[in-house]
Every structure is written in structure tokens, then in C-alpha cells.
Structure 1
């Protein structure tokens, strides 16, 4: 569910008409619904009711300061994967003891940053990382709380580029070697083993891979406890999918996901962490664009928008589907026209959809991309020297610009011409 609905024939974000935002900030722009963010967080809270737990929002899905601060106000922790994300979380007021640091390539500088500023835990992904973290913590006179990310060799049945739990993926330590690596961790100074971490992929639409992976984690928990390790926390990652294509069967609900967690690891007496990102922010955002031209080709019509692949790269990068709807509600039974929906970037890959049926569109008409709140703005760029587009947050009948569009001078003045040129 989201809070983007037609009211009096115009698509609204909560109680704000999208043309009103377009008139104020120009197009294209991203718009986020605070009510949807809140609702999606709450459904995870409800799903884990009865368990000692913390929901750590995966910031990589949308790391705007306003979004982070809103999530923190609801009681969320944060899952970060870089020093920059750690800085963002702290700047938004998130205390260090509610920040989990994930990622396969943490540097010594990032480790020191988190140890100095406070950290809930590091999710360690390799033996070299264990050694490095031990050295940094010992040098600083700190103790680093850690889980070790295990790779359970489970096929998440998702897109090749976002699967993370198979043996050929770069993430984690093979679960068959986990006991050996935990022995190493326990022998190193400056480290405190507190639990196990697992994450098998993103945009999962089937609960069975979760169940298989979590059963393996339960078995490992018993084995590690038998080895003398104190396993008090299980970080189960994120990855539950969202319905990008409304006409398809919806993915499982967070409540059903919570039942899998309770059934597989709920009796271990561990605190449970999950790290949802896409399911919280994805359907909480739209990308709104204007039609520049309707171009009639030899065998198809092109809808040329002012948004491009640099603004939303998911279709070009993943072949991803986004439902697209006109901002002005079409009349019931309006005739549909197939369009190739494209942007102005000089790449054939700058194509959002091919032969997508829409009501007849004209120059200046607004179109909204649904499910664009996750991995949209955070993956955008200034390719073709196109400015990053504004981000807007809505709360009821109010809206605020939470990232302004930079000017061309802003962009150009970040560069420096050497004196010898």
C-alpha cells in the first residue's frame, strides 16, 4: 500500500497534487510520502511482535537525510555500508549503538570512524577483515562487537546482480567454514563475538529461500554455542521484494516473513535484527517527469521525457520494470497507445520501457514512475552534465524540498582547471 492516489482526477502524494509540486520545483523530481514510510516500518514492527528485535533500515536504498531522520524518529536503527553512510546516519541524529556496519570492503579508516563514533556491530565478511578490525580496535584501545556474515549457498531466485547468498557470490564466509573462522575471531584481541549475520539477496518474491537460509543459521547457532561462543544476536538481513508490476502476483507480506523468522530461529533466545530497505522506501516514492515530445517513428511511437537513465538507472542496469501512470487520470475505458518511453541521454540504453500501453499523451503531460523510492535518487548521476534532480517529501498537505536541484554553475565549479592549462 502507498499514499499516491487519484483525487478529483489528479494524482496526489498524500494530500498534495503532483502538478503543484511540479510547478514549484520543475520536472523531473522525486517525491516521497512520509505516511508510506511510516506504514512500511510499522508492518515490520508488527511482523516481529513478541521477539526481541531491532529493525535497521538499509540506508543504501534511500539515504536522503530527511528519510533517515524520519526513520530514526520511528525507532529504526540503520544498516550502513560505507563511511559516508555512517556519517549520514550520525548527522541525522542516529546514535552509534543503533548503527550496524555491513559491506565486504571496509577500510581501516572506516573501522576507526565507527569505533570512535560508536557502533552497534560490524558484520564481518572475511578473515582478512577480521585481522584488520582486530588491529584497528587494539590500536585504539577499543573492543569491536562483531557478527560474522555466513554465506549459506542458497539461491534467492532473484536478479543475477542482486543475489548475494550463493557460493559464487562475493559476500560472506562459506557456512561450512564458519566454526573455523569463529575460532579465529575468538582468538583475536579487540573483538567481541556477539552473533551471526546472513543476507541472501534483494527483491525476493518467495519465502522458501529465507526459510532454508534461516534453518542453516539455527543449526550453526547450536554448533557455535557448543563450541563455547556466546551467540546472542542474529542479523537476518533484508531482501523482501515489493510489487513493481501491479498486475503481477504480490510478493509475500512482512507478516508472513515474520512467521518464517519465528518458526526457524524464534526459539533460540537471540535478539533478531532485520535490514529492510527496498520494502520500506521503494513504494514510498515516485519519479515525476514531463513529456518533451511525442515522436512518431516508422513502426512505433516514442514518448520522450525530461527524465533519463542518469535519474533512474534501474531499467537500463537491471531491465527493471516500473509501472508508469499519467498524472491526470484517464477517463474510464480510454484507448491505450503503445509507446517506447525514453529519455534524452545519448544512449540507446536510455529506455525506460518498450511498447508500454498508456492513454494518448501530449507534450507537457506529466507521468509518474511508481515504486521509485528505492535505488532511484541514490544511484543517480550527472551523466551528460544533467543536474541531479530535486527530492521532495510530503507530510499530509505539506511538502518540502529535501534536496534542491543544483545549478549548472554549482556543477561546473566543483571542477578545477590546472594552472598549466
Structure 2
């Protein structure tokens, strides 16, 4: 494990009344860049990494950042600089991770729908391990590895049938979910593993969901995995790696969400896997980046309806999908301004969908057109889930670091948005 040797760096995790982030004045930043845009604190990310690394001291452990949470190259470079690897779920995430400098031997390939081409690319790159989710995939991996004359290391993803307590759309460890296989099926894989010519099945993997705020689901899932690991060892199988997944929750609603401390989480891992002498892999995503990010947006207008008062802002569901997709809460606050009486608003965007709603019946200081708002904890599953719906350009992303800022993705132009489109001129007969 690559541990940081210096003290944990300073970080300014955004709070609902913050006018600055990582030493950068947000009003000034919004005067230099058109809203909406995403901004991330480099120091907040470094601090989260350091906290988890410190908790893991003494273990043979590798942190692999879940790239799907935030796939910007500059964010991945921060991960690499801290010794963090990558948990990928697509060929595109493999390309990004390698482009950011993350060594292939710190990359694990997860996901229920790996294609043959993606498996071949990952094998050629030399990724450390495949987290396999079906017998069909296992046989495909063996066939492709044989064609490349290479040996693939694989872990079976266990579905422990554990309720994670998160939103149903981000729960992955129940029997009815599409992820992983039962312990009974996994047992049969190991029994017939000798028939695999180019796959070494020597690992276990579990991931039960995301935004988990209690230890008990982790404790229960890891207990089931540990029991299976010990059974496999008794039967003569070698287990070199146990991937405990991710899922650590963060604070989206101040005063309500109470995330698990890194030390308490790692204590559960230590207890469950006591005596394990192989590599432990962790796949945090949201935990490392969510609270480091904010979405900056301006009020377009206040609209008084017959029954509701709407605060219309220039950000939309295509910039931050979580509220529309999961009914997720994000704290939203004015960045500055004099004290004002509280007013209740539905905070909505300009996209032509009723679902383009960030908050319902949210109390804020009275707002007017042009006011700058901060949407908190958007560093995970914000920009990475962005789209061009309603032909809206993808937003700029900005990295902040000790009073400095750098644009790490410029706002997409209309020309860039349609760069892959063309008139139907090259007709061919099928």
C-alpha cells in the first residue's frame, strides 16, 4: 500500500454558509466563469484519501477509486499522485485511468456487462484483476486470455443478499439485484476452476450498494464473505485477494446525514478478515470526492405559480441528475448577500421536464434574479452523469487548490456538442 508520509493536508470541505472553497472566493470565481459550473477542492480530496490510508495502516491494502463517481482526468491524476488505483466499469474508464497515469497493476475491472472487446483491451493493458459477475463472463475471460496467451487474475463477485439501507436504485447486494452471484454458484466455480486454462480464480469481491450510513450492512456482508473465504481455504483453494467494494456514505444534508468514520469502517474490515494474508482492495468513490465538489448556479428568475413559488436557476437535471433520478437531497444556499427573510421555494432548472427539480418546498433567504447559489456535495455523480439533453453544453469543471484555480474541463461549445453528427449523405445498402 502506498501511504502518504506527510501529515494530512488542510482541506476546506464546503459548508452551506461557505463563501469560499479551498481558499478561492466563489463569487470572484463566478465572475470569471459563466454559471453553471462544477468546482472541486483538491485539498478536500487529498484529506479524504489520507484519512482512509491512515486507517488502513498495517494492512496489505490497495485503494482503487471508483472512476464512475468522477472521471475527470485531473481528478484521476490526484488519485494517482496519492497512490490510489482505479476501479473501472468500462473500456472508456480504462482509457481515462491509463491516460491519467494510473498503472495498470492498480486497476481492477468490475461491472456486470463487460464486452469481449473491453476484456481484451483490459488484458492487453495488464489490469491487475477482473471482478467477474457471471459464469458466461468467466468463460469468456478464459477464452480471450487464451487467445492473448496471458493469465488473467479473477475474483468472483458475491451477492450476499444484504439490505444496504440505501435508495433502491443504488442497492447492489440483494438477491434480486443484477450484480454478482450467490455463494452456492461461486462455490461451483471454484470446484471447476481447474478447467480454466488461462484464468486464476483466486479472489473474492463484494459490493452491496452506495451511500451507506450504518456499519451493520458492511459487517453482515463481510461476515458472509469471510465465512466463504475460510471454507474455500479449508477445501484447498488459494485466495490472494478480497475486494470489499465501496459504499461509504457522505453528508448531503447537514444535521441529518451522519457518515461513518473511516476508522470505524476499517475496524469492521479488520475484524471480519482477521487472519487473511492476501491483498485487501477497497473501491471508494463518493466518499473521496462528493463533499469536495460544489455546483455553482445563478437564479434566472422567481416565478409565482398559483400554488407554488419557483426559483428558476440556470443549472438543470442534465448537470446534476441525482435529485431527479433518486429524489436525492443536496444542501442549497446563497453564496453571499445581506440577511433576508426566509421564503419557501421549489428550486427548478430550465429543462423541459417536471423532473428537472433540485428541491421541493426548500426554505432559503429571499432570492432575486442574478443571485449566486451553491449546491453542495456534487463532486460525485455530478459531472460524470452529465448529458446534452435539451442541447445544453456540458459544464466547465474547475479544480481549486490553496487559493488557486484551474479549469480542468472547459465548457463545451455548441460546435463541440455536435462534432460527431453529420448529414445523411453517405448512404449504403444493407
TM-score class, shorter? over 0.9
Report the Cα distance in structure 1 between the residues aligned to 2:184 and 2:191, rounded to whole angstroms: 13
How do residues 369-388 of structure 1 correspond to structure 2 at under 5 angstroms?
Answer: 369-388=375-394
Aligned residue in 1 for 2:295:
287
Aligned residue in 2 for 1:189:
197
Q: Is residue 388–residue 406 contact of structure 1 (8 Å, CA) maintained in 2?
A: yes
Structure 2 gap ranges (5+): 1-9
Q: Does 1:414 align with 2:420?
A: yes
Which is worse superposed, 273-282 or 19-28? 19-28
Report the Cα distance in structure 1 between the residues aligned to 2:81 and 2:225, rounded to whole angstroms: 31
Q: Does 1:67 align with 2:75?
A: yes
Aligned residue in 2 for 1:367:
373
Aligned residue in 2 for 1:92:
100
Task: Name the SS for the 2:62 alignment partner.
Answer: strand
Deviation at residue 3 of structure 1 after TM alignment: 1.5
Deviation at residue 2 of structure 1 after TM alignment: 5.9
**What's the RMSD between the two structures over aligned residues?**
1.7
Report the Cα distance in structure 2 between the residues aligned to 1:301 and 1:223, rounded to whole angstroms: 60
Report the Cα distance in structure 1 between the residues aligned to 2:15 and 2:257, rounded to whole angstroms: 23
Q: Is residue 14–residue 292 contact of structure 2 (8 Å, CA) maintained in 1?
A: no
Equivalent in 2, 8, 12 of residue 3 of structure 1: 12
**TM-score, structure 2 as length reference:** 0.94
Aligned residue in 2 for 1:348:
354
Report the Cα distance in structure 2 between the residues aligned to 1:193 and 1:413, rounded to whole angstroms: 43
Task: Name the SS for the 1:295 alignment partner.
Answer: strand
Structure 1 gap ranges (5+): none
Aligned residue in 2 for 1:336:
342
Report the Cα distance in structure 1 between the residues aligned to 2:100 and 2:411, rounded to whole angstroms: 21
**TM-score, structure 1 as length reference:** 0.96
Report the Cα distance in structure 1 between the residues aligned to 2:338 and 2:139, rounded to whole angstroms: 61
Report the Cα distance in structure 2 between the residues aligned to 1:210 and 1:56, rounded to whole angstroms: 18
The verdict on how the C-alpha distance between 1:188 and 1:20 changes in structure 2, with shifts beyond 3 A counting, is same
Q: Does 1:401 align with 2:410?
A: no
Q: Does 1:226 align with 2:234?
A: yes
Task: Name the SS for the 2:19 alignment partner.
Answer: strand
Q: Is residue 100–residue 123 contact of structure 1 (8 Å, CA) maintained in 2?
A: yes
Q: Is residue 173–residue 179 contact of structure 2 (8 Å, CA) maintained in 1?
A: yes
Q: Is residue 15–residue 376 contact of structure 2 (8 Å, CA) maintained in 1?
A: no
Report the Cα distance in structure 2 between the residues aligned to 1:5 and 1:197, rounded to whole angstroms: 33
Q: Is residue 301–residue 340 contact of structure 1 (8 Å, CA) maintained in 2?
A: yes
Which is worse superposed, 405-414 or 127-136? 405-414
Aligned residue in 2 for 1:152:
160
How do residues 265-344 of structure 1 correspond to structure 2 at under 5 angstroms?
Answer: 265-328=273-336, 331=339, 334-344=340-350
Q: Does 1:110 align with 2:118?
A: yes
Deviation at residue 5 of structure 1 after TM alignment: 5.4
Q: Is residue 13–residue 291 contact of structure 2 (8 Å, CA) maintained in 1?
A: no
Aligned length: 418
Q: Does 1:248 align with 2:256?
A: yes
Output one character per residue of 1:6-37: Cα deviation in whole Å (capped at 9) or x when no partner. Answer: 89x97111111112221222000000000000
Aligned residue in 1 for 2:129:
121
Deviation at residue 169 of structure 1 after TM alignment: 0.6
